[in-house]
Amino acid sequence: MFSPLRPIYPVAGIREIENTLIPSARPPLMERAGRAAAQDAVRLIMDRPGPILIACGPGNNGGDGFVMARQLAQAGREVIVAFGSTADRLPAEAAKAHADYLAAGGTVVSDLPAAPANGWALVVDALFGIGLGRPIEGRYASWIQTLNAQPCPRMALDVPSGLDADTGQPLGATFRATHTTTFIALKPGLLTNDGPDYCGEISVQRIDIDAPAWLPARGLAIAPSLFRSHLQPRPRNTHKGIYGDAGILGGSPGMVGAALLAGRAALWLGTGRVYVGLLEERGPAVDFAHPELMLRQAEALPERLSALAVGPGLGTQPAAAALLVAALERTIPLLLDADALNLIGTDPKLKAALKARTTPTLLTPHPAEAARMLGTDTASVQANRLHAALEIARSCRALVVLKGCGSIIATPDERWFVNGSGHPGMASAGMGDVLTGLIVGLLAQGWPAESALIAGVHLHGAAADRLAREGIGPVGLTASETIDAARGVFNGWLIEAQRDPRHPGGAAQRPGR
């Protein structure tokens, strides 16, 4: 479970690493990439007979395809290469790969051939790589349409052609892979926005390059390894006061359930005491499903809290804005979600108060809320999710998670993380409220703000993944169902951490072992 951390680089970072290494790389990077892709292809279609179709483009991605074709042919596979350009228009290294393929007995066809009677064993997209910055049109768009229609494994080299490697935005016609072999390191566009729908299973081939040794990574893929040091066992001599007091502020008329969901999530993740402050004057005095929650009127939340979340069902009425002003003045970790973010997005004074805070602040916008905070529209946020998250973190001096497919966590010092847990079944009412409760529960228990945000986001998705494996969802999954699953996943992490000899207090370091 505690696998090595995986760095993520935007295209500019990958280019910087490549340009540093290209003059001295032996064997050349293209040779390494094509060989690694061939090895991935063999594993992918080990039991599938028939020919392999590789569509090569007019650049270095096509060069990777030629190397791959040569390697596969030498391994005894039947390979057909479609190449829609001419050798004299290829970059130097790709031209050499083309010549080496021909010298080894390979041939090319100038257009995609008809599929054989029994179909292709594999089709490979080696058309356009990470440098593509415009929509694919004309002949290559037609090729992509044909390749996408093949009922066999479909493999992309580095990034599916037509997908922006930085943003995950499709640029016109886009190859829809079942498997993507990407080189050196992950790219953000593979992991967020539409990227996961086009990439399929992702294999990272480092091609003997330790990328962080050449360029420290600003981005990382989220995994439990990032917060392993905080997965500590509880001492036997303990009491609830050790595990903090979390406050939830929200629950305006018609939205009480949002605040209750957040409170329940914090409670079930081990918070010592959870107070829920409701704006609904006629709200319940007790949560009969979970009477452990302490329900109050919004203005009656205790002064002494370990952490506070504001937003679930808050509303945007003047009373809500006044409560938000008071919350921003508190010197405790503060999480803002939902209508708290909408209020800040429309009030410069609230945004200035947010920016002036000196204690940790966490923001959890979905794309529409992020757009309001940035003074733009949802489409602009989604067009470059990483940029949007970083801009909010910088301008608000806060930790931010931009929710959505491949949720992005950004820090004010321009580090960022992409989450891969979760599934489409989480697109249902109340999921954001549960996430808020999980995060504020960790904050209340003393977790550092960054670790609490990373762990809460990953845990929420992992809980939904566990339920899907058990046949609960993805379709029809409800937010409340993820609360119990999150507790189970979190306790599983605790157990695994204690078994890990590398973990502080793990099996190899405990007395008597």
Domain boundaries for CATH 3.40.50.10260 within the chain? 6-221
Determine the pLDDT at residue 504.
57
User: What pTM, to 2 d.p., does this model score?
Assistant: 0.95
Confidence of residue 506 (pLDDT cuts 50, 70, 90): low
Summarize the confidence of residues 339-349 as an average pLDDT: 96
Distance CA 249, CA 139 (A): 57
Say if residue 510's pLDDT is above 50: no
Report the chain's terminal Cα–Cα distance, integer Å.
Answer: 22
| Residue in 9, 500, 448, 10 with CA at minimum distance from that of residue 230 | 448
What is the b/e burial string over 130-150, where b = at least 16 CB atoms within 10 angstroms of the residue's CB?
Answer: bebeeebeeebbebbebbbee
pLDDT digits (tens, 9 = 90+) for 59-94: 999 999 999 999 999 999 999 999 999 999 999 999
Determine the pLDDT at residue 20.
87
Domain 240-499 matching CATH 3.40.1190.20: the answer reads: yes
How is domain 6-221 classified at the CATH fold level?
Answer: Rossmann fold (3.40.50)
Within 10 angstroms of residue 180's Cβ, the number of other Cβ atoms is: 26
- 8 A C-beta contact, residue 176 and residue 202: no
Helix (H, G, I), strand (E, B) or coil at 351: helix
Distance CA 212, CA 416 (A): 15
Determine the pLDDT at residue 3.
83
Tokens of 385: 């999710």
- 8 A C-beta contact, residue 438 and residue 479: no
- 8 A C-beta contact, residue 113 and residue 80: yes
Beta bridge partners of 183: 205
Domain boundaries for CATH 3.40.1190.20 within the chain? 240-499
pLDDT digits (tens, 9 = 90+) for 267-291: 999 999 999 999 999 999 999 999 9
Distance CA 107, CA 102 (A): 6
